[in-house]
């Protein structure tokens, strides 16, 4: 990161120079605040949250550090500011406390961002957004996840409605549930017909998206082939992992990925007090849930491996230990996938034995 002395400053034409800018993004309007090198407010105002308006406003910020907070609009706004030549810093709101005083508003938040980025951008715990292409491809997975969620809700609604009349629908996967129409009681068919028709359409759309995900993996993200060599890691998990992490060079060590995805325990140490807390749960929630599902498979139906033995050993002490083992295996998987991706190696169930034989 650039030091304060080497940061660019911009003359506004009013006798003052801009050394740092903070922008608090809103859905319609975004507030901004420009500071001089000695921390005095040079200008402040608001701008429409559109690419054209932000490009016009940022014409005088070329080479200037501009701090924004991560959120819905931060991805395209950061790319827009960078295209204008700004030195963009995207703050991590889960680690940066933001405005500390009681008068919290958009203008004060913008000023706080500007003051922090002027002194030390590392205090904002800056994050790196994925590219626009990766964001577009990831939207395919996001839409599929919401369709699957909606399908599950409709299936549960149908089962609950039929159960109220003392009838149970046959056990079947959600993907084939719409084929159980013949089991619906005659008295409920008119009420449940729109639901079953929606289920059939949703299932067809999910299948189309599955084919699209498979095509993306083969044509644009070949690294998923390496990740899918791990038992339990399918095309959706592999592609979600690649698109969420972005690129392997983002982390100096594979171990950092577990913390990035919120799979490490939180810490609240104070003196001799160091309580045992749950996981941090920061990072991408959907990818974290996929890794937990993969951990379920590893500990139950997957073939024997060093990872499975390690997880089973952790789960020997009862239900609480089983839950901790599940999260621990998910964290191991996050680290393992990054390691395989970085080295281009296929999964080996017992790597230590292979090393011993080679030695």
Is residue 169 domain-shared with residue 199, that is, in the same domain?
yes
Residue 229 belongs to a domain: no
Q: What is the pLDDT of residue 2?
A: 39
Helix (H, G, I), strand (E, B) or coil at 31: strand
Lookup: tokens for 353 = 């034995």
Helix (H, G, I), strand (E, B) or coil at 119: helix
Q: What is the pLDDT of residue 341?
A: 95
Lookup: tokens for 110 = 């913008």
Residue 231 belongs to a domain: no
**pLDDT, averaged in runs of 10, over the chain (359 residues):** 43 71 95 94 95 95 94 94 95 75 79 93 88 93 96 95 90 91 92 95 97 94 94 95 91 90 76 71 89 95 93 86 91 95 92 57
Structural domain count, the chain: 3
Is residue 146 domain-shared with residue 119, that is, in the same domain?
no
Residue 137 belongs to a domain: yes
Is residue 113 domain-shared with residue 14, that is, in the same domain?
yes
How many of the other CB atoms lie within 10 Å of CB of 302? 18
Residue 312 belongs to a domain: yes
Q: What is the pLDDT of residue 4?
A: 36
Residue 242 belongs to a domain: no
- CA pseudo-torsion sign 332, 330, 296, 178: negative
Distance CA 333, CA 88 (A): 32
Task: List helix spans (H) across 85-176.
Answer: 106-119, 132-163
CB burial of residue 132 (10 Å; 0-12, 13-18, 19+): exposed
Distance CA 245, CA 253 (A): 13
CA–CA distances in Å: residue 298 to residues 54, 228, 291: 48, 13, 10
Helix axis angle, 189-219 relative to 235-245, nearest 10°?
A: 60
Residue 22 belongs to a domain: yes
The pairing of strands 87-91 and 65-69 is: parallel
The pairing of strands 20-24 and 65-69 is: parallel
Q: What is the pLDDT of residue 241?
A: 96
Cβ–Cβ < 8 Å for 9, 18 = yes
Indicate the residue among 220, 235, 259 that finishes a domain: 220
Structural domain that includes position 137: 132-220
Q: What is the pLDDT of residue 127?
A: 85
- CA pseudo-torsion sign 324, 328, 333, 338: positive
CB burial of residue 19 (10 Å; 0-12, 13-18, 19+): buried
7-43 pLDDT, tens per residue? 455 555 555 789 999 999 999 999 999 999 999 999 9
Distance CA 314, CA 322 (A): 7
Is residue 140 domain-shared with residue 194, that is, in the same domain?
yes
How many of the other CB atoms lie within 10 Å of CB of 53? 15
């Amino acid at each position: 990161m650039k030091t304060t002395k080497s940061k660019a400053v911009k003359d506004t034409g009013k006798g003052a120079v801009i050394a740092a800018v903070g922008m608090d993004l809103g859905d319609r309007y975004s507030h901004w605040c420009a500071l001089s090198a000695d921390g005095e407010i040079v200008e402040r105002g608001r701008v429409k949250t559109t690419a054209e308006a932000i490009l016009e406003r940022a014409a005088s910020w070329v080479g200037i550090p501009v701090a924004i907070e991560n959120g819905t609009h931060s991805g395209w706004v950061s790319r827009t500011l960078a295209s204008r030549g700004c030195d963009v810093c995207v703050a991590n709101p889960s680690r940066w406390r933001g405005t500390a005083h009681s008068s919290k508003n958009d203008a004060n938040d913008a000023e706080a961002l500007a003051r922090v980025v002027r002194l030390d951008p590392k205090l904002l715990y800056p994050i790196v957004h994925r590219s626009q292409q990766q964001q577009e491809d990831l939207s395919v997975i996001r839409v599929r996840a919401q369709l699957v969620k909606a399908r599950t809700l409709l299936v549960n609604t149908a089962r609950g409605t039929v159960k109220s009349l003392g009838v149970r629908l046959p056990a079947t996967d959600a993907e084939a549930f719409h084929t159980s129409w013949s089991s619906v009681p005659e008295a409920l068919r008119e009420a449940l017909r729109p639901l079953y028709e929606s289920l059939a359409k949703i299932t067809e759309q999910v299948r189309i998206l599955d084919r699209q995900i498979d095509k993306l993996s083969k044509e644009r993200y070949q690294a998923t082939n390496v990740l899918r060599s791990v038992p339990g890691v399918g095309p959706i998990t592999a592609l979600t992992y690649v698109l969420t992490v972005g690129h392997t060079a983002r982390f100096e060590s594979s171990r950092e990925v577990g913390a990035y995805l919120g799979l490490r325990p939180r810490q609240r140490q104070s003196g001799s007090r160091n309580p045992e807390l749950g996981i941090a749960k920061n990072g991408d929630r959907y990818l974290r849930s996929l890794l937990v599902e993969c951990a379920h498979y590893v500990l139950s139906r997957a073939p024997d491996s060093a990872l499975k033995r390690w997880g089973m050993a952790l789960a020997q002490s009862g239900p609480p230990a089983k839950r901790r083992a599940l999260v621990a295996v998910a964290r191991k998987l996050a680290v393992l996938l990054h390691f395989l991706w970085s080295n281009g190696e296929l999964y080996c169930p017992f790597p230590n034995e292979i090393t011993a034989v080679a030695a």
